[in-house]
Amino acid sequence: MRTLLIAATLATTTVASATFASAADFRQYPGFNNKDSFIEMTHDMGLIVEITLRCGKRANGKVKAGIMTYSKVERLYCSSRNRCYRDALKAADQTCGY
């Protein structure tokens, strides 16, 4: 399910960035409308898409977050630990520490 969410968000980011080609960068906030969304934000910076993840909630109620990237050229998802994979779920799991 998380892989599907990541892929769908990246697909809409790619389409939107093609539409707004004159913009320096483009941001989406799927977590703003859905508080249970695994993806908090995507930031399309051209060749790299930065993905902010909601990894879970801590005991004090604050959300634990993680940041991973997607390279459009290499088509790789990289975790926050600088390990890159073709599978988005592996990078997300490593970023969140699952």
Q: Percentage of the chain with pLDDT > 90?
A: 42
Q: What's the pTM value of the predicted model, to 2 decimals?
A: 0.69
Domain range for 20 is 2-96
Structurally, how many domains does the chain consist of? 1
CA-to-CA separations, 8 to 2, 12, 13, 69, 84, in angstroms, rounded: 10, 6, 9, 15, 20
Q: What is the pLDDT of residues 47-87, one digit of tens each?
A: 999 999 999 877 787 778 899 999 999 999 999 999 999 99
Which one is predicted more confidently, 30 or 43?
A: 43
